[in-house]
Amino acid sequence: MNGKGTYDSHSLTDPPSPHPIRISADTTQRIFSLADFLDDFRGLNLDSRHRVANMGLKVFTYEAGTEINRVQFNYTENRAAQQLADILDKISNVEEQINQLEYDMRYDHLGLPQTLLQIQNGLYDHDYVEAALMIPTLEKISADSRYLHLAQVRAQEIVQRIQENK
């Protein structure tokens, strides 16, 4: 439980493309506590019995040695599973913002201020867990004169806000 893992987000038709990620000890502990509460997903059925719209398939996997437990669901009423899905979704939000920033840095300098504004709004709305993962990318933007001054200033403001909220 050292916070090391992999992140992968892809459509079902695309091949997996995981990359390494390291999250804080606090978030790691929260994730494993919820997984433990859910008996590491052993024989668990999380799907709601009520008819609901397709909310997107979620898959929780627990691996320890040769033990692999997996549960998938569309929507659940289980509070612990909802909390776990929320944490993982908010980590995913961070990773997707990093991907968007890197795209904008390479191909769309003029789009950077808008992406950064979305990040600022997301911070305000508490849409992120592990927002500190964005800091290295944000620092590159704030230090690079190739980007609009507005983007540099916003990136620095976001870094300061993330560091203040640690």
The predicted-structure confidence for 36-86, as pLDDT tens digits, reads as follows 999 999 999 998 888 888 888 899 999 989 999 999 999 999 999 999 999
Within a domain: residue 63? no
Q: Is 155 left (phi over 0), alpha (psi -120 to 50) or beta?
A: alpha
Is 132 inside a domain boundary? yes
Q: What is the pLDDT of residue 165?
A: 87
Residues 158 and 123 sit within 8 Å (Cβ to Cβ): yes
Residue 166 pLDDT greater than 90, yes or no: no
Q: Is residue 140 part of a domain?
A: yes
Share of the chain above pLDDT 70, in %: 99
Does residue 103 carry a pLDDT above 70? yes
Q: Provide the CA 156 distance to its chain's centre, in angstroms.
A: 21
| Predicted local distance difference test score (pLDDT) of residue 86 | 97
- What's the mean pLDDT in 110-116? 97
Q: Is residue 49 part of a domain?
A: no
Average pLDDT estimate for 95-102: 96
Residue 52 included in any domain: no
Mean of the per-residue pLDDT values for the chain?
A: 94
Q: Does the residue 91 lie in any domain?
A: yes
**End-to-end Cα spacing for the chain:** 20
- Mean local confidence (pLDDT), 106-132: 97
Assigned domain for 102 exists: yes
Q: What is the pLDDT of residues 137-160, one digit of tens each?
A: 999 999 999 999 999 999 999 999
- In this model, does residue 1 exceed pLDDT 70? no
Q: Does any domain span residue 67? A: no
pTM recorded for the entire structure: 0.91
- Closest by CA to 132, choosing from 2, 9, 8, 27, is 27
| Ramachandran category for residue 29: left, alpha or beta (phi over 0 → left; psi -120 to 50 → alpha) | alpha
Q: Are 112 and 104 in contact (CB under 8 A)?
A: yes
Number of folded domains that form the chain: 1
pLDDT beyond 80 at 5:
yes
Print the domain residue range for 153.
Answer: 4-38+78-164
